[in-house]
Amino acid sequence: MILSPITRERIFGLSLLIPCFLFITVFAFYPIAYSFFLSLHRIVIGLPGLGEPFIGLENYRSLIHDRIAIRAFLNTLVFVLVSTMLEIGIGLVIALIINRNFRGRGMVRAAILIPWAIPTVVASQMWRFIFNDKYGLINFLFFGSDTGSYHAWLADPTAAFVAIIVADVWKTSSFAALLILAGLQIIPDELHEAAKIDGASAWQRFWRITFPLLRPAILVALLFRTMDAFRVFDLVYVMTQGGPADSTNVLQFYGYKKIFAEGLMGYGSTISVLVFCISLVISIIYIRIIGTRLFRQT
Amino acid sequence: MKGFRYVLSLVLILFPLLLIGGCKQDTGQETKTVIHFVTWKPNIPEAWDEILDIFKKENPDIEIIREIGPHSSTAFHDMLTQKLKNKSEDVDVFLMDVIWPPEFGAAGWAMPLDELFPEEERKKFLEGTILANTYKGHIYGVPLFIDSGMLFYRRDLLEKYKLPVPITWKQMIDTAEWIVREEKRQGNEIYGFTGQFKQYEGLVCDMMEYILSNGGYIIDPDTGRIGLTEEGTIEAIKFVRDNIIGKIAPKGVLTYQEPESLDLFIQGKVVFHRNWPYAWEVSNNPQKSKIAGKVGIARLPHFPGHESVSTLGGWQVGISSFTKKKEAAWRFVEFLTSIRVQKILALKAGRAPTRKILYEDPEILQLYPHFKEMKEVFLTAYPRPRTPLYPAVSNVLQRFFSRVISDPSLDIKKEAQSASEEIKKILALQDEKR
């Protein structure tokens, strides 16, 4: 059989896609589909005698009425909003600074990335020490040797939640900065120079040139950070275990608890599916926005 | 060039398969039987090193690989059950908290040891520990050491102010407040009490002791009734919230597990401390503790008109149902729970033995004169609800206790009602089966 060169090219192209496709199928599609399958069943690890009956959307129905899940959902939402906003804001500032020419810039650029390079579990453990009520650095900074007024940050529902946000912002602002910096570097210097000649102030140049051209990069950073923030787990796991009084309980951690601590495989999977769906919706919205924007530019 | 392209694509297709194949274990020649022992990070590592060295010397054909898990029982449970759920071969022998055997037995993770651990052998152990390992007529673990909540106190401070060891919780509060005030006047900043009040399993243990010593209960073992809304229960919780958290105990106890709370005690910063018996060894070890030789131990206080109650704790050794090395695993379990190893654990790590005979051992009694008395506490220590769904029940309890003790604005009764509802729902699953 003789195939035309174009067909052969096409077959070749497709065959190159197979490994990637297989990889995604095994490591992404299959687990997602399986989670969905599990979420339609009642599976209690501690009671194998119950079997694994199919119960339709029963788990989803209980999820809607689960006040702890609702609380965890709200916690997650607040966490996502506050932490991404701060991260993008701080990331933008960092990116603008390290985009300038100054002595030791290389060093600073490398140093900025350190928080992001530290594994989250290690960083969380570190922050747990920093917020410790007896020998934590934060207490020392605020109160010095006046140990009497040392505050138990992680014992206070609101302060514990803030502590988690602080740790997350510290850790991932530099990641946002990195993405934004990449966006900054593709802005041609000529635009700034021309604007300068036309008499535009630094402030005007930022809002009229830098910011509009930076939007796609910011959106990409926003997309990554929102999705990551939605799946926050390790910080909570290490720093507070969801306490005190569930104030830092987030959806992913709650789902983990349900599956791995309580052995409710079906119900826990329902929570995972919910987190997946929310992330999916968010990313579709973002990609739509970024996509059209990029399209308009070309 | 074409040929090269096809080779390239073939490589790219085969590459992931190679990766998957590469995950398989190397089946090299092995003369030793490897036993994976899942354990936590010990409080006194030297004792465990010594024990494992002895085993190594006496059993050159078995190699023990320790898989160290988290210190918190809850986190350890999550890790271990995840491995067992996946029928992992990295688990042969594991430690089990006293609350797990029903779950591990029902789920088919722990191997029934009925034949290896016969009736007459079981009689040599404290009854409570055997009961804790038995579920539906099968035994799933061998008790390694027993725990029960004890009150540790600064003997030197009580003597200094000529105050007696408190019998009731109220007395403990008064004594603590007095000493803290007097010490402060002398420029010595200390706290009255520390215990375990973080949102985790230890919180349930600690709270149970207040509740039961006030005539309240959590789940009645005979009737199955949930007692969270009972008067005695609510009163006890209210007492903890209003008199302990942020009062005689620093507010930080809401983030403390055993190590953190003990830390403050051995730094000489606390008058009273609730912990398991191992704290005796740590707090009297001059290398670790600033208060060595100044520590007293007593039964926990109670509320007026009631008895003092200690939560039954302790750890068991179990064998995974999925192990392929049953014989070697049992040899290791038998060794770990033997008289001499329990004695090492008692002498060097302060762990209270589960074998009755060791409570008459002169060497142990010389080092721990209080063990004789503690045997009584151990015999009456109160077990937590025994059900394969305990982890789920415990999570509800942890959440409930953590909420009401850390937020004084909450109505305890209302919270107790919704927690009871949730527990009822969980336990209903169990009845469905029958």
Q: What is the pLDDT of residues A1-47, one digit of tens each?
A: 677 888 888 999 999 999 999 999 999 899 999 999 999 999 888 78
Where is pLDDT greater, at B23 or B342? B342
Q: Which residue of A has its CA nearest to B76?
A: A261
Is it the case that residue A151 has pLDDT exceeding 80?
Answer: yes
Asked if B12 and A16 come within 8 Å (Cβ–Cβ), the reply is yes
Tell me the Ramachandran region of residue A150: left when phi exceeds 0, alpha when psi lies from -120 to 50, beta otherwise.
beta
pLDDT above 90 covers a percentage of chain B that reads 71
What's the rounded mean pLDDT across residues B417-424? 94
- CB nearest to A47's CB, from B13, B406, B433: B433
The CATH architecture assigned to B33-147+312-380 reads 3-Layer(aba) Sandwich (3.40)
- CB nearest to A154's CB, from B5, B77, B255: B255
What's the rounded mean pLDDT across residues B166-186? 96
- The reported pLDDT for the residue numbered B27 is 47
Q: Give the integer Cα–Cα distance in Å for B142 and B203.
A: 25
The CATH architecture assigned to B150-311+386-433 reads 3-Layer(aba) Sandwich (3.40)
Residue A17 lies in a domain: no
pLDDT above 70 covers a percentage of chain B that reads 92
User: Mutate which of B189, B397, B406 to test chain A, going by most A C-beta atoms within 10 A?
Assistant: B406
Give the structural domain span for A292: 33-297
Tell me: the pLDDT tens digits for A54-81? 998 999 999 999 889 999 999 999 999 9
Q: Which of A156-160, A172-176, A207-211 has the lowest mean pLDDT?
A: A207-211
Tell me: the pLDDT tens digits for B50-85? 999 999 999 999 999 999 998 888 889 989 998 998
Nearest to B145 by CA among B264, B281, B283, B53: B281
- The reported pLDDT for the residue numbered B372 is 80
Chain A residues lying within 8 Å of B418, measured CB to CB: 67
Is it the case that residue A229 has pLDDT exceeding 60?
Answer: yes
Asked if A155 and B255 come within 8 Å (Cβ–Cβ), the reply is yes
- The reported pLDDT for the residue numbered B18 is 52
The DSSP-derived string for A203-214 is HHHIIIIIHHHH
Residue A279 lies in a domain: yes
**Count of other CB atoms within 10 angstroms of residue A118:** 14
Asked if A49 and B106 come within 8 Å (Cβ–Cβ), the reply is yes
Tell me: the pLDDT tens digits for B300-317? 999 999 999 999 999 999
Asked if A155 and B406 come within 8 Å (Cβ–Cβ), the reply is yes
Asked if A245 and B403 come within 8 Å (Cβ–Cβ), the reply is yes
Q: Is A164 on the interface with B (CB under 8 A)?
A: no
Q: Which residue of B has its CA nearest to A132?
A: B252
Is it the case that residue B24 has pLDDT exceeding 50?
Answer: no
Q: Please report, for chain B, how many H helices and E strands are present, in that order.
A: 18, 12
Tell me: the pLDDT tens digits for B375-400? 888 888 888 988 888 989 999 999 99
Is it the case that residue B244 has pLDDT exceeding 70?
Answer: yes
Whichever domain contains A95, its CATH number is: 1.10.3720.10
- The reported pLDDT for the residue numbered A1 is 65
Contact B198, A243 (CB under 8 A): yes
**Which of the four pLDDT bands, split at 50, 70 and 90, describes residue B16?**
low
Tell me: the pLDDT tens digits for A187-199? 888 888 898 898 8
Give the distance from residue B391's alpha carbon to the nearest chain A alpha carbon, in angstroms.
5
Q: Which residue of A has its CA nearest to B8?
A: A16
Chain A residues lying within 8 Å of B406, measured CB to CB: 155-157, 243-245
Question: A with B: how many residue pairs have Cβ under 8 Å apart?
Answer: 126
Residue A76 lies in a domain: yes
**Which of the four pLDDT bands, split at 50, 70 and 90, describes residue A296?**
low
Give the distance from residue A212's alpha carbon to the nearest chain B alpha carbon, in angstroms.
41
What's the rounded mean pLDDT across residues A82-90? 95
List Cβ neighbours of B420 (8 Å cut-off, separation of 6 or more). B226, B228, B229
Asked if B392 and A156 come within 8 Å (Cβ–Cβ), the reply is no
Q: Provide the number of structural domains found in chain A.
A: 1
Residue A56 lies in a domain: yes
Q: Give the integer Cα–Cα distance in Å for A112 and A177.
A: 9
Asked if A261 and B406 come within 8 Å (Cβ–Cβ), the reply is no
Is it the case that residue B26 has pLDDT exceeding 70?
Answer: no
User: Mutate which of B136, B253, B255 to test chain A, going by most A C-beta atoms within 10 A?
Assistant: B255
Could you tell me where in chain B the CATH 3.40.190.10 domains are found? Answer: 33-147+312-380, 150-311+386-433
**Which of the four pLDDT bands, split at 50, 70 and 90, describes residue B105?**
very high
ipTM: 0.80
